[in-house]
Amino acid sequence: MSKAIQALLAAALLAVSGSALANERDPVCGNNCTAWLSFGGQDFTIPMNVSADGKGWVKDFVAETAMGRVELNNLWMDPDPMILFGIGVVNFTNSPLLFSFGFSTPISLSGTVGANSQISYALTDGAGDGVTLAPFFGSNVLVAQDFDATLKGTDKGVDVGQSCSTALCGPYSGSNVLNFGTTQVMMGATVSFVLTGMDAAGLSGYVVQTPIPEPATYLMMGLGVAGLLLRRRFNIR
């Protein structure tokens, strides 16, 4: 991941870490969910809406320059946590153009966590000379990380989205199980790719992760069920 994107995620983390740690059991977006995009050398901060129950969302945000057009059709960020997005882009130039998006949401996760991701693209060959969408950073379009309060980032191991030159690409999916020794206070995802000239693309995907109960938790649950069954048996007698 580039230093510029790491810096943007770090800035977002500084904004959310205090409030996320103050309310570890139930993090909410408030002013702490962030979204940005960049293309053609210009950066845009995306205004965030927040629902009554603390979820962040964006609908039909548009940014256009002489070089291209971006539509963030849908973005949903749930500190539960989940990031869900739908994006449309058009390259107005005759040369490949870089598009980058970044999303972050406060979280409060530790212990064993299951992570999943998915992304798909639909490509349009505007010039009739072929179309290609390719990752810009590394080998994946969608990259996801978690951060603790010290700004230490951990790749979730669910980066997905390879280069593609057909009309429909994907879905590309990833899953992984992580074990965090410290509480993670922010989840970040970036979507970065290069699109060939005079072409268009639509992308949709998500990153989601959930705690996995430890064996001791399963044992306590089992003992609780056994206790209820035993009590019921004695009540019947």
Residue 224 has pLDDT above 70, yes or no: no
Q: How confident is the model at residue 102 (pLDDT cuts 50, 70, 90)?
A: very high
Mean pLDDT computed over every residue of the chain: 85
CB 147 within 8 A of CB 185: yes
pLDDT value at residue 214: 64
CB 4 within 8 A of CB 136: no
Helix (H, G, I), strand (E, B) or coil at 83: strand
User: In Å, what is the CA distance from 20 to each residue of 29, 86, 199?
Assistant: 9, 26, 41
pLDDT value at residue 215: 57
Does 29 or 69 have the greater pLDDT score? 69
CB 180 within 8 A of CB 157: no
| Segment (H or E) for 228 | helix 215-236
Instruction: Give the C-alpha separation, 237 to 235, whole Å.
Output: 5
Determine the Cα angle at 145 with ends 114 and 73, to 5°: 95
Closest CA to 102 of 206, 203, 8, 209: 8
Q: How confident is the model at residue 212 (pLDDT cuts 50, 70, 90)?
A: confident
Distance of CA 196 to the CA centre of its chain: 24
CB 88 within 8 A of CB 202: yes
pTM: 0.81
Helix (H, G, I), strand (E, B) or coil at 215: helix
CB 63 within 8 A of CB 69: yes
Q: pLDDT over 70 for what percent of the chain?
A: 79
Top mean-pLDDT range of 4-8, 178-182, 231-235: 178-182
